[in-house]
Structure 1
Amino acid sequence: MIHRTHPGPGRRSRSRARRASRILLASAAVAALLGVDLPDAMAGPPLGVTAQAPPDAEADRVGALFAGGLDGGHFCTAAVVRSDGHDVIATAAHCVDRWDTTVFAPGYRDGEAPYGVWKLTGVYVAPGWRDGGDPDADIAFATVAPVDGGRTGAVEDLVGGFPVAAEQAPDATVRVIGYPRGQEAPLRCANTTALFSDTQRRIDCPDLSSGTSGSPWLVGGALAGVLGGHEAGGSVPEVSYSAVMGDQAVELYREASVTD
């Protein structure tokens, strides 16, 4: 059973494939969230090259996580995913240990939050993370609501949301979009991946330094993991990791995204 987490000590470090590209159908309700309205998944720099991500439909679904507000400094990355309530984001579990004081700014650039600032209203993490910090459970989903008093509606209505996929081929090509802590715009890199272990995937991309934890790993425009897991995502900027998404992550997503 998946449980909501409660505030705990913060950790701001950076943080099998069995069948190729199988979209997860955890339930009929989740299946309805997995559609074909995807941003262009082919644009961008050559494989293995990291460059600034231009503002577009894909990058605008990704945002920075801040401590308290935009003046608190961004420390992790998150992305909007599809949900019944249009209000769910995905990130690394180690990014939301202090979720009650964390806010999300999709499309954040140069000190501006073009789609507003969103407070986290609930967080879903697996027991393996909550009880022992299991790196194989380093993924979280959270619901958000607007901080801006005059803003109405839901975040997915503004920027769209990534469908959720898993069980990718060991050599799937993944695109990562994230916010290094010292930069005010997101970076983007794509490369083929490999299994570091049965439960962890790795990618070689330069400059994905502290702050990129929680960055979405996109396969064909769908979220297939987040930067985190082994070594909280990696101990050097050139190599990053993600826990392999399996049944537990699907259940986590279902609990966060499906309205009963």
Structure 2
Amino acid sequence: MRLVSRRVVAVLASGALATFAFAAPASASGYGADDAGGAAINIVADTVSAAQEVTGSWSAERMRQAVPMEQLVSESGDVISLGEVVGSLTGGDPVSIPATKRLDLGSGLGGVLGSASGEPWTGGGEVASTAGRVFFTVDGQDASCSGNAVTSENNSTVITAGHCVRMGGEWHDDWVFVPGYDNGDAPYGEWPAETTMATQEWVESEDINYDVGAAVVHEQDGQSLTEVVGGQGIAFNQERGQPMYSFGYPAASPYDGSELIHCSGDTFDDPLFSDAMGMDCDMTGGSSGGPWFLDFDEQSGTGLQSSVNSFGYAFLPGTMFGPYFGDEAQEVYERASTF
């Protein structure tokens, strides 16, 4: 992994502290900035044949063998000591966009119930199909994260963490989203990315405060992603400190990436090095990019996505942090939604 700059943060959603050197901005080749929306964009597979090649390469066994993205970071030779997390979030008016139902699913009723810290999700509902594993290659090595389908104008948008689309100054290759992943099975198909995106702040300096990414995936058999799996609602610039649910596919011990895991409870501001939000949660590497929901309804499995699993500190075990979805995250979502 090519790492050049020496700015440092604590990252990633691993259940332990990983520190890495920030990458300097890439050259003009490799990504482009959207002047209107402020998102950095990468073309992954822009033709049907290229998309088919990506999905055809990800067998069930290859998916099982993919390692958490965080493991590749910790194995690089560029791990150094913890430094200051820099950057400040800009705020705007609160925005919330409701969920999109999949074609064969009716509405549900229910309420937020109980709390959990790293338990299998057995509640079913919409989240069992919108949340999924993300697979990609980093310098030729197979890796995994998590992601979630959200309502969008193009019905093809996945939200994940910034480091799940780009890391160390390079965009990830062979990127595919597998909603409802179940121990190698892809019950809703494999959805290769046409484009991946991240906040401009993440691309330029890998500032953990802006660890937000997105993908626009190809249609499959004439259907778009949210027609098949549904799309969760999404919200920006919301009040902090609210109870939330988080979901993901942790693949580092004691988990193996085979099933959807969830946490729930009150959230709090990171008291240490970032502007992120925290939650009591035991999920490990591979859960990065999984969704955090406000107003989550356990019976219907729907909510308003307002963050993603991002990072943890070794000296603060059992705690997950996620970036605050402010204007910068909204810019990425809006650009992806209309791509």
Q: What's the TM-score bracket when you normalise by the shorter of the two chains? A: 0.7 to 0.9
Structure 2 residues not aligned, in runs of 5+: 1-37, 45-67, 74-88, 102-106, 296-302
Deviation at 1:125, TM superposition (A): 1.1
Deviation at 1:234, TM superposition (A): 4.7
Which residue number in structure 2 is paired with residue 203 of structure 1? Answer: 279
Question: Is this contact kept in 2: 1:61–1:160, CA < 8 A?
Answer: yes
Which residue number in structure 1 is paired with residue 21 of structure 2? Answer: none
TM-score, structure 2 normalization: 0.62
Change in Cα spacing, 1:133 to 1:191, as seen in structure 2 (3 Å) is same
Question: Is this contact kept in 2: 1:78–1:91, CA < 8 A?
Answer: yes
Which residue number in structure 1 is paired with residue 119 of structure 2? Answer: 51
Question: Is this contact kept in 1: 2:257–2:286, CA < 8 A?
Answer: no
Distance in 1 separating the partners of 2:288 and 2:110: 21
Change in Cα spacing, 1:130 to 1:144, as seen in structure 2 (3 Å) is same
Change in Cα spacing, 1:191 to 1:87, as seen in structure 2 (3 Å) is same
Distance in 2 separating the partners of 1:48 and 1:224: 18
Give the CA RMSD over aligned residues: 3.0
Query: Is 1:101–2:178 an aligned residue pair?
Result: no
Question: Is this contact kept in 1: 2:289–2:308, CA < 8 A?
Answer: yes
Partner residue of 2:309 out of 208, 227, 238: 227
Change in Cα spacing, 1:244 to 1:191, as seen in structure 2 (3 Å) is same
Change in Cα spacing, 1:176 to 1:41, as seen in structure 2 (3 Å) is farther
Which residue number in structure 2 is paired with residue 213 of structure 1? Answer: 288
Deviation at 1:196, TM superposition (A): 1.0
Question: Is this contact kept in 2: 1:209–1:237, CA < 8 A?
Answer: no
Distance in 2 separating the partners of 1:157 and 1:179: 23
Computing the radius of gyration from Cα coordinates, the structure with the larger value is 2
Deviation at 1:171, TM superposition (A): 1.9
- Percent sequence identity over aligned pairs: 24
Deviation at 1:18, TM superposition (A): 7.8
Deviation at 1:73, TM superposition (A): 6.4
Deviation at 1:96, TM superposition (A): 0.9
Deviation at 1:132, TM superposition (A): 1.1
Change in Cα spacing, 1:76 to 1:35, as seen in structure 2 (3 Å) is closer
Deviation at 1:255, TM superposition (A): 0.8
Which residue number in structure 2 is paired with residue 171 of structure 1? Answer: 241
Which residue number in structure 2 is paired with residue 238 of structure 1? Answer: 318
Deviation at 1:219, TM superposition (A): 0.5
Which residue number in structure 2 is paired with residue 258 of structure 1? Answer: 338
Distance in 1 separating the partners of 2:173 and 2:119: 32
Which residue number in structure 2 is paired with residue 194 of structure 1? Answer: 268
Change in Cα spacing, 1:193 to 1:239, as seen in structure 2 (3 Å) is same
